[in-house]
Amino acid sequence: MGVSGAGKTTVAAHLAQELGWEFLDADSFHSAANVAKMYAGIPLDDADRTPWLKALRREIARAIQQRRNLTLACSALKDAYRQQLVVGPEVRLVYLKGTFDVLRQRLVHRSGHFMTERLLASQLEALQEPADAITVDAQQPVADIVAEIHRHLF
């Protein structure tokens, strides 16, 4: 979890590959209306996120029920969102924490994604840093981040 530009998708995909787990990106669960809103630089509100969070919760619960291991790249900016996603003790949160300058630089150089640097300030404003997550410095190389997460999980 973390704001846009923290490296959630890259890190979660690498971690999943290393562990032989399934990888999901929460961005693919957004409605077309949400994506259009973000492309326009308009931050999502709680009402926009409600169906998205419900879909993610169902997917997480289904994976637990089916005993499938997965990594999910998801912003989960607010405590209330994370409470909806942590459906059982099997769910572990990893918070990729980065500075505004580093995150902004990454977003400026990102192309083809609906989350741009225009929304970074609103995401940081909405962010409620988790007290119960594995917190990792997002500025490290991906391999180092994945290794650190792996150490905390096992």
For residue range 49-90, list pLDDT tens digits in order.
999 999 999 999 999 999 999 999 999 999 999 999 999 999
| Residue 5: predicted pLDDT | 86
Domain that holds residue 127: 8-153
* pLDDT, tens digit, 9 for 90 and up, residues 98-146: 998 898 888 876 555 555 556 788 889 899 999 999 999 999 999 999 9
Residue 143 burial class via C-beta count within 10 angstroms: exposed 0-12, middle 13-18, buried 19 and up:
exposed
Taking only Cα atoms into account, the Rg of the chain, rounded to an integer number of angstroms, comes to 15
Q: Would 120 be classed as within a structural domain?
A: yes
User: What contacts 124, CB < 8 A, 6 or more positions away?
Assistant: 3, 100
* pLDDT, tens digit, 9 for 90 and up, residues 23-58: 999 999 999 999 888 888 788 899 999 999 999 999
Which residue's entry shows tokens 């999901």?
Answer: 24
Closest by Cα among 114, 72, 112, 108 to 90: 72
User: What contacts 21, CB < 8 A, 6 or more positions away?
Assistant: 15, 69, 70, 71
This prediction's pTM: 0.90
Structural domain total, the chain: 1
Q: Would 2 be classed as within a structural domain?
A: no
| Residue 106: predicted pLDDT | 82
The CATH number that applies at residue 74 is 3.40.50.300
